[in-house]
């Protein structure tokens, strides 16, 4: 699908962008992949990793800057929207800035993609957009709604928008595994709540979910991959078996469990072997056979959360993953 195409990744210097570039360049032959982000130092460092590959281009810009997005999208076929203000406490204390990036930035991108004739757009979402309790989650829910509605907003244009949603990315910078690794020599690991659970997804799985969305989408779908859960206390024990666990309490805006699909969306959610798909309630798209594609509707009281998951990651599986990815954990 991506062969001889032009792809742009907003927020492309982050963990997802690094993995996406490595995978798409090795498994496809795109004509060009554009990394669009506002951090020149991260672009400088990333450019060293892809030096010599003329397919990779870098474009300084912010999704808040409407004119700059229009310029960047010249000739682009596919867009992955990964740019976001996503640290929960940062969003709580800087709400206006979070809204500018996550909501207004989404609006800018939707307009620009339609006007520039981009074929397909996949936006990255988060578990925090499902029944949000913090500002970050609320802005991402708003963003999701904007991208879903963008398919109607496009009118007669052919641009199509969909969303992928996943939770804790294993080993990404700022996530729980590198945090615990950095603390284990101190002999004490802070645990917010002993009941806390989290979904576990690798960056490779996240990229593959985006690829599946590009291939499957008709427009307006929210894709949720089936992934294992793990208790945070078990995760801490695997990472630092000799460290004492100290309960410190949940931070403002933090959830006890991650939720990908709430009961409110169950009426429009379909199940597939490896994922779920939330279809739009608008325009009766949740009844469209081209969007359902053989899926099975979930029960009316269905809820996909990290604590009621049917699949759990074992200690051995986590330990094996850490050993395979040791040199990459927390690096990006």
Catalytic residues: 128
Contact 34, 59 (CB under 8 A): yes
Surface-to-core class of residue 287, CB atoms within 10 Å of its CB (0-12 exposed, 13-18 middle, 19+ buried): exposed
For residues 314 and 2, give the distance between their C-alpha atoms in angstroms, rounded to a whole number: 35
- The phi, psi pair for 42, rounded to 5°, reads -65, -40
Q: Which of 62, 32, 71, 12 is nearest to 210 (CA)?
A: 12
Sheet containing 6-10: give its strands across: 56-60, 32-37, 6-10, 78-81, 120-126, 160-166, 222-225, 275-278, 269-271, 296-297
Contact indicator for 253, 134 with CB cutoff of 8 Å? yes
Classify the phi-psi angles of 104: left when phi > 0, otherwise alpha if psi is within -120 to 50, otherwise beta. Answer: alpha
- Residue whose structure tokens are 């640290």: 87
| C-alpha closest to that of 16 among 53, 55, 51, 42 | 42
Phi, psi of 68 (to 5 degrees): -70, -40
What's the token pair of residue 219?
């427009």
What is the number of other CB atoms lying within 10 angstroms of the CB of residue 326?
10
286-289, long-range: CB < 8 A, 24+ apart: 288/218
Residue 183 · residue 240 · CB < 8 Å:
yes
- CA gap 253, 241 in Å, rounded: 29
Rounded Cα–Cα distance for residues 153 and 287 (Å): 20
* Number of other residues whose CB lies within 10 A of the CB of residue 102: 25
- DSSP structure class, residue 102: I
């Amino acid at each position: 699908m991506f062969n001889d195409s032009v792809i742009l990744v907003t927020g492309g210097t982050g963990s997802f962008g690094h993995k996406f570039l490595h995978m798409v360049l090795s498994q496809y032959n795109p004509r060009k992949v554009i990394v669009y982000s506002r951090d020149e130092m991260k672009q400088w460092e990333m450019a060293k990793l892809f030096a010599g590959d003329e397919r990779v281009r870098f474009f300084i810009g912010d999704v808040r800057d409407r004119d700059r997005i229009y310029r960047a999208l010249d000739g682009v076929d596919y867009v992955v929207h990964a740019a976001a203000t996503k640290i929960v406490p940062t969003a709580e204390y800087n709400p206006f800035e979070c809204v500018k990036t996550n909501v207004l930035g989404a609006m800018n991108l939707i307009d620009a993609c339609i006007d520039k004739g981009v074929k397909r757009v996949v936006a990255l979402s988060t578990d925090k957009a499902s029944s949000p309790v913090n500002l970050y989650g609320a802005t991402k829910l708003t963003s999701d709604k904007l991208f879903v509605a963008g398919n109607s907003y496009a009118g007669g244009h052919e641009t199509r928008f969909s969303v992928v949603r996943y939770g804790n990315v294993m080993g990404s910078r700022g996530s729980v595994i590198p945090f615990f690794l950095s603390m284990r020599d101190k002999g004490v690991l802070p645990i917010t709540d002993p009941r806390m659970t989290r979904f576990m997804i690798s960056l490779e799985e996240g990229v593959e979910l985006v690829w599946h969305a590009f291939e499957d989408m008709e427009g307006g779908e929210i894709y949720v991959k089936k992934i294992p859960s793990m208790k945070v206390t078990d995760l801490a024990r695997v990472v630092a078996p000799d460290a004492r666990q100290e309960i410190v309490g949940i931070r403002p805006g933090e959830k006890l469990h991650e939720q990908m699909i709430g009961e409110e969306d169950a009426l429009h959610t379909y199940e597939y072997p490896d994922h779920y798909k939330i279809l739009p309630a608008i325009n009766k798209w949740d009844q469209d056979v081209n969007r359902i594609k053989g899926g099975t509707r979930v029960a009316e009281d269905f809820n996909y959360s990290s604590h009621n998951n049917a699949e759990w990651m074992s200690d051995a599986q986590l330990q094996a993953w850490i050993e395979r990815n040791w040199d990459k954990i927390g690096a990006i």
